[in-house]
Amino acid sequence: MGINVSSEPWITDKNHPQGKYTGPSPTSSFPLVTSSSEKRDKWYSTPESWLRGKIRDDNIDKKLWRVHDKLYDLSGFIEYHPGGSEWLKITRGMDITEFFENSHVINVDMVEATLSKFYVKEASEPRNSPYTFEPDGFYKTLKKRIESVMKDNGTGPTLATIVLQDLMVAGFILFSVLGVLLNSYWLIIFAGLSLGLSSASAHNFLHIRDNWRKFYFDLSLCSHYEWKIEHVFSHHGFPNTSWDVEVTWLNPWVEFLVNRKKYWIQRFGPWLYIHFIMAFAFPVCFVFRVMAIVKGEQKIRRENFLPVLQLGLFAAYAQTGIMTGIIFWMVLHMICSYWVVATGLNAAHHHPICFHDGDEPRPKPDYGLCMLDATCVKVEDNDRNLFQIMTTFGEHNLHHLFPAVCISKIGYIKPIVEATVREFQEELIFLTQWQLFTGMHSQMSRLEPHSFQEDLEQRKKTQVQATMYGPRK
């Protein structure tokens, strides 16, 4: 699917706070998004360094929280926050507008009334986030429409979701024990796949209110705490922008954005070595975490010892020696890493038709519409069961609109989203898994940005694919 590029500068609404867009810049498609974070262009960094950069860029009182254009002191509310205290502890000193909006979908009036009790003062500077939340805009309209439906059905996990998640972890433990005791690489491979499936699924438990199953993610070499920062705050807040750690963390080896200088090796080399990166992504995260802890840049957390405990047990009980146990442990975690990263990169975002920083943005970047600009509908998800959706980051466009709704309940939102999209005369992007896979390679090599209007025309051509797999459920 080709993308035509206009030779003329792109001009957006000159009266809009984001100003006019005259083409890609080395910073961002959005003029107010300046220095992205401490993460970009550094060989060694962690999600906490992104967090420090975000707090620095938001530039508010470090003891307060910002929601839209008001500052609040939520210190006394931390322990009473229904979603859990960790969310507020992490975000002190930040602009949390996007997370406040996409996390609260029921009893919204009551939530906003509670927030108002902690008001301190008006913010002195405009938000540097590009997104808008106009009362009659797409996202706020959509939120109002789903509220009663989600109140009736709830936003938390179903029993089936919990059972499937627990069974995946049980499979990981069983295959690991048998693999070590029977000295079987095949069983270790199955253990790694089980852990990969479990980790992809456990990501769902990171988004909802605090629960102990979030620690399932710490069985991998990643950390639920770090993923709250880099995935929930960075990626879900600002997908495919220079603030999205999950786009920028692979730089300079892989460059998804189109407003960066790309050398030949960056454009076509990843077609080969991206698989190596997928397998070693989690082990590298583990090494960076250890380095940050040793250097005093990050505090050690109790759950950080879970993979270390695994290593000790593998080395102690491997039938042919310590080295075999270490190799088993590495193979297991490389398979886990490959599954999670490969399915994540091919879930919905990295096709040239999706917005990437450097492309022309919307004239008025409504938050919900910008989420849909950067996220496609994977047509195969129509026929996939709950297990497949949980383990492949399925229904991703709906998940990005309302990430705090459990994936088992997100289907209730689908018809409302589609009706609202039609009402606002917008277009969803429908792509197959194969198109996403090949599109990811095209995106890595893409140099030319595309204009918003031409992108919109391209989306219309994908609508026919919505019926390829039968009627939508």
Q: 26-35, 102-111, 295-304: which has the minimum mean pLDDT?
A: 26-35
Q: 171-180, 181-190, 420-429, 452-461: which has the minimum mean pLDDT?
A: 452-461
- Per-residue HEC secondary structure of the chain comes to CCCCCCCCCCCCCCCCCCCCCCCCCCCCCCCCCCCCCCCCCCCCCCHHHHHHHHHHHHCCCCCCEEECCEEECCHHHHHHCCCCHHHHHHHCCCECHHHHHHHCCCCHHHHHHHHHCCEEEECCCCCCCCCECCCCCHHHHHHHHHHHHHHHHCCCCCHHHHHHHHHHHHHHHHHHHHHHHHCCHHHHHHHHHHHHHHHHHHHHHHHCCCCHHHHHHHHCCCCHHHHHHHHHHHHCCCCCCCCCHHHHCCCCCCCCCCCCCCCHHHHHCHHHHHHHHHHHHHHHHHHHHHHHHHCCCCCCCHHHHHHHHHHHHHHHHCCCCHHHHHHHHHHHHHHHHHHHHHHHHCCCCCCCCCCCECECCCCCCEHHHHHHHCCCEEHHHHHCCHHHHHHCCCCHHHHHHCCCCCCCCHHHHHHHHHHHHHHCCCCCCEECHHHHHHHHHHHHHCCCCCCHHHHHHHHHCCHHHHHCCCCCC
- 24 has a pLDDT exceeding 60: no
Q: 44-53, 128-137, 195-204: which has the minimum mean pLDDT?
A: 44-53
pLDDT at 7: 35
pLDDT at 9: 40
CB count, 10 Å around CB of 82? 10
Beta carbons within 8 Å of 9's beta carbon, 6+ residues apart: 22, 23
pLDDT at 397: 95
pTM above 0.85, yes or no: yes
- 2 has a pLDDT exceeding 70: no
Most confident of 164-168, 255-259, 445-449: 164-168
- Cα(468)–Cα(427) distance, integer angstroms: 17
Report which of residues 178 and 24 the model is more confident about: 178
The answer to whether 100 touches 133, Cβ cutoff 8 Å, is no
Confidence of residue 8 (pLDDT cuts 50, 70, 90): very low
Tokens of 94: 């930040």
Average pLDDT over residues 2-20: 41
- 21 has a pLDDT exceeding 80: no
Confidence of residue 40 (pLDDT cuts 50, 70, 90): very low
Q: How does 313-337 read in b/e, with b if 16+ C-beta sit within 10 Å?
A: ebbeebeeeeebbebbbbbbbbbbb
pLDDT at 296: 87
Tens digits of per-residue pLDDT, 77-97?
999 999 999 999 999 999 999
pLDDT at 17: 43
Average pLDDT over residues 307-316: 96
- Cα(106)–Cα(110) distance, integer angstroms: 9
